Amino acid sequence: MSSTAFVGQRVKRVEDPDLLTGRGQFLDDLKLPGLLEAAFVRSPFAHATFTEIDAAEARAMPGVVAVLTARDLPAEMLDKRILLQVPHPEITYAVTQEPLATSEVCFVGEAVAVVIAESRHLAEDAAERVIVDWEPLPATAHCDAALKPGAPAVHSTMTDNIAGRLNLSFGDVDAAFRNAAHVIRERYEPHRGTGHPMECRGVVAVYDLVSDAFRIWSSTQTPHNTQRAVIDMFGLAEDHVRVITPDVGGGFGPKNQVYPEELVIPAAARLLGRPVKWAEDRREHFLTTTQERDQVWDVAAAVDDDGRLLGIKGTLIHDAGAYLPWGIIMPYISATTLPGPYKLPAYRMAVTIAFTNLVPTTPLRGAGRPQAVFAMERLLDAVAAKLGLDPAEVRRRNFIQASDMPYDMGLTYRDGAPVMYDTGDYPDAQAKALAAAGYDDFPARQKAALAQGRHIGIGIGNYVEGTGLGPFEGATIRILTNGRVAIYTGAAAAGQAHRTTLAQICADELNIDVTDIDVVGGDTGVMPRGAGTYASRITVNAGSSTRMAATELRGKALALAAAKFDVKPEDVELTHGAVRIKGEQGDSITFEELAKMTSGMPGYALPKGVKPDLEASGYFTPPQATYSNGSHVAEVEVDPETGQVTILKYTVVHDCGTIINPMLVDGQVQGGVAHGIGNALLERMVFDADANPLTTTFADYLMPTAEIVPTCDIVHMESPTPLNPLGAKGAGEGGTIPAPAAIVAAVENALSPFGIRITDCPITPQRIVELINAASETNQEDR
């Protein structure tokens, strides 16, 4: 029997032809008859109350159909807030946003009214004329300040700014510190950035009066969450709310949330009886789309004389922003990620989640992990410096070995299962990274460069990442009467090429070409149950479900054909879109004929005793997270005069288990590193003391460009996991997670002649020059 073998190959993407010719259909491309457009009236203050909104002038403007405030929304929405996505028992104040604020706003950009007009231009004109009687209140601009006595309350209903506390520990931490030869204490402060997909958010809603049903298109990573939130808000049955993702121009985490606009726009469409669209612009994206990464880590490592870890303890303050749309899962992930690939006998981390008057934080590519890896890897660099050891050697002395797998860290992961590393060879990953990076020769390179007056440095970042979280992501596969095969899945894509990946898995099972398969994802109308595209979980979950469904469908197709030919199922085989009787002269029946036979079409008789069933569904439910890992090495040059950093070489060793499509994984890694470079060197959301955002254009908030991001040298390791039928682990975030740690370490190493230490990121040219100047002043004082 001939068979296809797409899994493991660099299969070209089935998504590309449309996207390369302008035929993609992104949210703002949707055109519906009678479509109205929306512009929101947003708070100019980080914290304020209001009582009156005067929209009389705006309502009289050309092309304006309606101006809606909270009071004008349907009765079902009164006193309701957006459904909390990830409840957690340790949340002390589970506050999410109102669809439109009723009397208090808690960050700049929070919406209080919406103008619906014949065009976006006209809606914006009118939004400027809406008058709100603002009463500004004191605001809190940073999570550290939020916890200080006397800090302004982020919500006027609160007496403190604490959103929740978490305490995680294992082992005898006090004994570890009592017995330590050395204790190294550090404070680390990663800063806020955001995802900035090139397509901003957006939503289109149509209300069908006849069926009392919404059809909603949203540029989201998780249509099912949007559906759940709409159902919760309006009290409708599932089949009256269909949420569809069109082509989505990137997500990176922030499109994983349900936003006020996704509730207000459907409400407006129902009130006005016309389709309504809101397409976020970049300014709104800077103001209102969730962000992440402000944390303050005060950590101490207890080590023996050889640099072996005895224990780590500390505190973590996590910035929630003004609301908790995604609960407190990010700091939980941070605290469980910190131990990483190292044997840590004892650990205690006390986490405080603080509200601030800033746009809420939710998972952003890496989701709390880049900060944790920054803290751990920088702490190991500090241990190395203190003991006079090579940073690579300190890591080698502490690695969990491949023979230790599966390895129980001693904590519970966010999915409720123990943090149990499944497979991986962490020492070998670092060894391969060091070899590819030319680490052993680096001291000679550095010396030669310094002789020429050039400052080059090298840094290491290792990580372990929990991926592939459940509960599930389903797939239904059907053979259609046109002879093609359709895969329906809850998974919504935003550039990851799910269509290609899932088609590869299915094609191998059904012995057809990937181009014979249509993948429909991210539509609650074709797949009623789903979680969403986050936590590097789609290949593990939807991929495994696709494999399971395809295997079952294969059996059904064989059984149907066997019944048709009146032979045993083992006497027929699949061959490129048909089932045939084995042997040279065997009869065959095409998928098209099989599908017609089971469709009820007159003239296609069904064999006796056979169900008209030519589809199968798979719901893979992973028992726990599966742990990807990797090792990054950055080599940089720093100009001490200007503070400019040039990345000379970037090496990645990446292990995400069995690889379905190496081309796509390379793309995820390279793109992820680029995001990490932004976090390391460029991207920072800056706010003033009153919590006003100061970086609200791409001229102020710098994104990595083609001149900054080098071509990564990527080495793959494949440690298949036994936890799913594919052996696959997640690959979407590993490029980003250790990059800030590795790059900042390299910058610090390059500037070792100046004796500076870097404990925050991004490390901008301005900050580098500040640190150099401060260090040289200190040195002069010492003399």
Assess whether the previous peptide bond of 471 is cis (omega < 30° from 0): yes
Q: What's the rounded Cα separation, in Å, for the pair 37 and 124?
A: 10
Angle, helices 369-387 vs 391-398, to 10°: value is 110
Single out the residue of 88, 731, 170 nearest to residue 416, CA to CA.
Answer: 88
Task: Give the one residue of 157, 403, 706, 782 binding other proteins; rule: CB under 8 A.
Answer: 706
Does position 671 bind other proteins by CB under 8 A? yes
Within 353-382, the residues that bind other proteins by CB under 8 A are: none
For residue 250, the SS3 value is: coil
- Min CB(709)–other proteins separation in Å: 5
Does position 773 bind other proteins by CB under 8 A? no
Single out the residue of 570, 568, 610, 614 nearest to residue 591, CA to CA.
Answer: 614
Within 282-341, the residues that bind other proteins by CB under 8 A are: 282
Does position 59 bind other proteins by CB under 8 A? no
Contact 202, 278 (CB under 8 A): yes
- Min CB(334)–other proteins separation in Å: 23
Does position 23 bind other proteins by CB under 8 A? yes
Query: Cβ closer to other proteins: 17 or 443?
Result: 17
Does position 746 bind other proteins by CB under 8 A? no
Q: Tokens at residue 452, please?
A: 């020429």
Does position 31 bind other proteins by CB under 8 A? yes
Does position 134 bind other proteins by CB under 8 A? no
Does position 499 bind other proteins by CB under 8 A? no
Does position 12 bind other proteins by CB under 8 A? yes
Does position 250 bind other proteins by CB under 8 A? yes
Does position 19 bind other proteins by CB under 8 A? yes
Identity at 283, one-letter amino acid code = R
Task: Give the one residue of 79, 305, 707, 782 binding other proteins; rule: CB under 8 A.
Answer: 707
Contact 188, 297 (CB under 8 A): yes
In sign, the C-alpha dihedral spanning 640, 641, 643, 647 is negative
Count of positions on this chain that bind other proteins (CB under 8 A): 60
Q: Which stretch binds other proteins (CB under 8 A): 245-253, 344-352, 415-423, 603-611?
A: 245-253
DSSP designation for 362? -
Q: Which stretch binds other proteins (CB under 8 A): 153-161, 312-320, 412-420, 489-497?
A: 489-497
CA 227 to chain centre: 20
Does position 248 bind other proteins by CB under 8 A? yes
Does position 697 bind other proteins by CB under 8 A? yes
Query: Cβ closer to other proteins: 202 or 470?
Result: 202
- Min CB(367)–other proteins separation in Å: 17
Contact 200, 226 (CB under 8 A): no
- Min CB(117)–other proteins separation in Å: 12
DSSP designation for 376? H
Calculate the alpha carbon distances from 417 to 50, 404, 626 in Å.
46, 19, 11
Assess whether the previous peptide bond of 427 is cis (omega < 30° from 0): no
Q: What's the rounded Cα separation, in Å, for the pair 104 and 84?
A: 19
Q: What is the 3-class SS of 642-662, one letter each residue?
A: CCCEEEEEEEEEEECECCCCH
Q: Which stretch binds other proteins (CB under 8 A): 196-204, 484-492, 529-537, 625-633?
A: 196-204
For residue 618, the SS3 value is: strand
- Min CB(121)–other proteins separation in Å: 7
Q: Which stretch binds other proteins (CB under 8 A): 145-153, 491-499, 529-537, 744-752?
A: 491-499
Does position 673 bind other proteins by CB under 8 A? yes
Does position 198 bind other proteins by CB under 8 A? yes
Query: Cβ closer to other proteins: 236 or 663?
Result: 663
Identity at 426, one-letter amino acid code = Y
Q: Which stretch binds other proteins (CB under 8 A): 291-299, 459-467, 578-586, 701-709?
A: 701-709
Does position 217 bind other proteins by CB under 8 A? no
Does position 699 bind other proteins by CB under 8 A? yes
Does position 26 bind other proteins by CB under 8 A? yes
Q: What's the rounded Cα separation, in Å, for the pair 104 and 99?
A: 12
- Min CB(436)–other proteins separation in Å: 16
Q: Tokens at residue 308, please?
A: 């072996």
Does position 491 bind other proteins by CB under 8 A? no
Does position 249 bind other proteins by CB under 8 A? yes
Single out the residue of 385, 325, 391 nearest to residue 361, CA to CA.
Answer: 325
Task: Give the one residue of 497, 562, 578, 625 binding other proteins; rule: CB under 8 A.
Answer: 497
Q: Which stretch binds other proteins (CB under 8 A): 10-18, 259-267, 449-457, 741-749?
A: 10-18
Query: Cβ closer to other proteins: 59 or 396?
Result: 59
Does position 664 bind other proteins by CB under 8 A? yes
Site track 416-455 with other proteins (rule: CB under 8 A), x = hit: ----------------------------------------
Angle at 241 between CA 236 and CA 245, to 5 degrees: 155
Q: Is 573 exposed, middle or buried (0-12, 13-18, 19+ CB in 10 A)?
A: buried
Contact 617, 553 (CB under 8 A): no
- Min CB(227)–other proteins separation in Å: 22
DSSP designation for 1? -
- Min CB(22)–other proteins separation in Å: 2
Reported as half-sphere exposure (CB side, CA atoms, 13 A), residue 289 has a value of 28
- 329-342 burial string, b = 16+ CB within 10 Å, else e? bbbbbbbbbbbbbb
Does position 33 bind other proteins by CB under 8 A? no
Does position 156 bind other proteins by CB under 8 A? no
Task: Give the one residue of 3, 156, 515, 705 binding other proteins; rule: CB under 8 A.
Answer: 705
Please count the residues of the chain.
783
Calculate the alpha carbon distances from 93 to 322, 327, 505, 547 in Å.
11, 10, 44, 42
Q: Which stretch binds other proteins (CB under 8 A): 71-79, 241-249, 331-339, 383-391?
A: 241-249
Does position 674 bind other proteins by CB under 8 A? yes
Q: Is 703 exposed, middle or buried (0-12, 13-18, 19+ CB in 10 A)?
A: middle
- The 10 Å Cβ neighbour count of residue 354 is 26
Task: Give the one residue of 70, 460, 709, 742 binding other proteins; rule: CB under 8 A.
Answer: 709
> Beta strand 615-618 with 588-590: parallel, antiparallel or unpaired?
unpaired
Interface residues toward other proteins, by CB under 8 A: 12-13, 15-17, 19-26, 28-29, 31, 61-62, 119, 121, 125, 195-200, 247-250, 252, 281-282, 494-497, 663-664, 666-667, 670-675, 697-699, 703-707, 709, 711-712, 735
